[in-house]
Amino acid sequence: MLLHMASNQQTRPGIGELAKDSARDRIGVVMGAVGGRVQIRPIGGGTEWDVMPDNVVALSPREELSARLAIKNANSRDGL
Contact 33, 26 (CB under 8 A): no
Contact 19, 12 (CB under 8 A): yes
Supply the pTM of this predicted model: 0.78
Contact 56, 13 (CB under 8 A): yes
**Other CB atoms within 10 Å distance of the CB of residue 64:** 15
* pLDDT tens sequence across 14-27: 999 999 999 999 99
In sequence order, which residues have a C-beta less than 8 Å from that of residue 73 and are 6 or more positions away?
Answer: none
* pLDDT tens sequence across 24-40: 999 999 999 999 999 99
